[in-house]
């Protein structure tokens, strides 16, 4: 009988008897909090839970302001709008990210300029950013992808030199720290997602952080149909003034509900301990992975003083596995471990969910704009190599168990290495 689960052998992990940690995590605190909102009748609109969460998130991130919004896509869009980004502007984004990072740029009529990432972190490559700057560039959106941090020192230096805004996409990085500063407190604004799989979740949701009072006022108006900031949390169904003649702002409704805020308050209380556990396990397993042939752990930059892992990832080299393709390796890993083992995001110049050219009615603003937003004009060799040859990614819950759990990842790799011949 085969030694490999994918060929009918016994899997390393019996997930019926020994399941992986589940997500999301909740208990009676969430239940009570949700019931409190229910009975209060203040289900939305600048309610007390929303105000409490915004305050707690502000303190946690170490920015001067935080605002919760509907999700981590519109948070990017609002941050761009607050920075006055629009038609004719270019925004530099990494080629390897969830499509929303670039999609938000399209939705404010600007041009997403896709640049390549570094092989060791899969985050935007500062050298490529520098090359991509033109007189039209208005902002950079570094994404702290999976478990790594974009090189914020280099990005902030380029931004200062060229007078560009920096919007950190922190959808994967709640609580991660760069030189003791939290992700979301380094650039002009931070954008967070609280979608179900994320490190903090309310099912859906997002937040914006900033320490720029002008940006904050605009963001608050933009998320709330153009209304000006509330003085007090009101729970009122339509409160807020409309600004004064001359400074009205056109916008829509990007608010969250108090049910979401109730969940986020509890989620934030759990986050530091969960991050510590994931960080400890990641450091441990990376030290083991570093010893294996054909496996390279992601680079942990010494300037990253606190890890935050949306995904646990590593790099695979098929040459050390008798030429076994990474797709077959991932399938064999999934069969051994009984969990999803995925590739990285598809590079945005070839991503099925990033297809601006399918929406001429919205994006064909001029022939020149149409040409500029065509993703196929960008060259992203590192993104392509990561996606099609190297990436092996697990959801962060694999880092939330015991050391024995995470050692199983190493054992699965060793088993596949020893028996790679069976899969060729
Ligand atoms: C890097 C990145 N940015 C933005 C988003 C968008 O967040 P949301 O799903 O909350 O709209 C995501 C969601 O997966 C993401 O991974």
Measure 200 CA to ligand 1 centroid, in angstroms.
Answer: 12
CA distance linking residue 188 with residue 65, whole number of Å: 11
Give the model's pLDDT for residue 319.
97
- Sorted by sequence, the CB contacts under 8 Å of residue 19 that are 6+ apart come out as none
> Which residues have C-beta atoms less than 6 Å from ligand 1?
71-73, 97-98, 100-101, 143, 169, 171-172, 193, 195, 206
Question: What is the topology classification, in CATH, of domain 28-267?
Answer: 3.40.640
Q: Which of 69, 70, 100, 190 to mutate to test the pocket of ligand 1 (most atoms within 8 A of CB)?
A: 100
Confidence (pLDDT) at 232: 52
pLDDT tens for each residue of 120-158:
999 999 999 999 999 999 999 999 999 999 999 999 999
Nearest residue to 51 (alpha-carbon basis) of 38, 39, 37: 37
Do residues 227 and 221 touch, judged by C-beta distance below 8 A? Answer: yes
Structure confidence at residue 50 (pLDDT): 97
What are the boundaries of each domain within the chain?
28-267
pLDDT at 228: 82
3-class SS letters over the chain: CCCCHHHCCCCCCCCCCCCCCCCCCCCHHHHHHHHHHHHHCCCECCCHHHHHHHHHHHHHHCCCEEEEECCCCHHHHHHHHHCCCCCCCEEEEECCCCCHHHHHHHHCCCEEEEECECCCCCCECHHHHHHHCCCCEEEECCECCCCCCCCHHHHHHHHHHHCCEEEEECCCCCCCEECCEECCCCCCEEEEECCCCCCCCCCCCEEEEECCHHHHHHHHHHHECCCCCCCCCCCCCCCCCCCCCCCCCCCCECCCEHHHHHHHHHHHHHHHHHHHHHHHHHHHHHHHHCCCCCEEECCCCCCEEECCCCEEEEEECHHHHCCCCHHHHHHHHHHHHCCCCECCCCCHHHCCCCCHHHCHHHHCCCHHHHHHCCHHHCCCHHHHHHHHHHEEEEEHHHHCCCHHHHHHHHHHHHHHHHCHHHHC
pLDDT digits (tens, 9 = 90+) for 375-398: 999 999 999 999 999 999 999 999
Q: Which residues of the chain have pLDDT under 50?
A: none
Task: Tell how far the Cα of 218 is from the centroid of ligand 1, in angstroms.
Answer: 22
Q: Which of 335, 325, 321, 333 is nearest to 387 (CA)?
A: 325
Residue 126 CA to residue 136 CA, distance in Å, equals 18
Record the pTM. 0.96
- Nearest residue CA, atom 5 of ligand 1? 72
Residue 32: the pLDDT is 98
């Amino acid at each position: 009988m085969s030694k490999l689960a994918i060929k009918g052998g016994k899997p390393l992990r019996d997930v019926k008897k020994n399941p992986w940690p589940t997500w999301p995590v909740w208990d009676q605190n969430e239940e009570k909090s949700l019931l409190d909102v229910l009975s209060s009748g203040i289900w939305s609109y600048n309610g007390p839970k929303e105000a409490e969460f915004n305050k707690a998130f502000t303190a946690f991130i170490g920015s001067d302001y935080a605002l919760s919004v509907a999700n981590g896509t519109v948070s990017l869009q609002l941050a761009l709008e607050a920075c006055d980004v629009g038609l004719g502007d270019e925004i530099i984004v990494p080629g390897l990210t969830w499509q929303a990072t670039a999609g938000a740029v399209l939705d404010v009529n600007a041009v997403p300029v896709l640049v390549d990432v570094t092989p060791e972190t899969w985050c935007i490559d500062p050298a490529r950013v520098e090359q991509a700057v033109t007189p039209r560039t208005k902002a950079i959106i570094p994404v702290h992808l999976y478990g790594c941090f974009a090189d914020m020192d280099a990005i902030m230096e380029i931004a200062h030199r060229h007078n560009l805004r920096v919007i950190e996409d922190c959808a994967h990085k709640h609580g991660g720290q760069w030189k003791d500063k939290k992700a979301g407190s380094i650039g002009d604004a931070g954008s967070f997602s609280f979608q179900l799989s994320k490190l903090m979740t309310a099912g859906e949701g997002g937040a914006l952080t900033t320490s720029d009072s002008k940006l904050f006022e605009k963001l608050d108006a933009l998320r709330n149909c153009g209304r000006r900031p509330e003085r007090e949390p009101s729970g009122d169904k339509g409160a807020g003034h409309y600004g004064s003649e001359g400074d009205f702002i056109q916008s829509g409704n990007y608010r969250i509900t108090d049910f979401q805020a109730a969940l986020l308050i509890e989620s934030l209380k759990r986050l530091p301990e969960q991050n510590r556990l994931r960080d400890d396990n990641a450091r441990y397993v990376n030290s083991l992975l570093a010893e294996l042939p054909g496996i390279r752990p992601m680079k942990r930059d010494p300037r990253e003083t606190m890890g935050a892992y949306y995904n646990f990832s590593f790099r695979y080299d098929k040459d050390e596995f008798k030429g076994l393709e990474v797709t077959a390796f991932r399938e064999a890993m999934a069969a051994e471990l009984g969990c999803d083992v995925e590739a990285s995001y598809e590079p945005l110049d070839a991503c099925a969910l990033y297809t601006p050219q399918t929406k001429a009615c919205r994006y064909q603003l001029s022939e020149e704009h149409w040409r500029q937003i065509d993703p196929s004009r960008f060259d992203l060799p590192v993104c392509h190599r990561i996606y099609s040859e190297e990436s092996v990614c697990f959801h962060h819950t694999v880092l939330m168990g015991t050391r024995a759990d995470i050692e199983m990842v190493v054992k699965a790799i060793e088993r596949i290495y020893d028996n790679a011949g069976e899969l060729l």
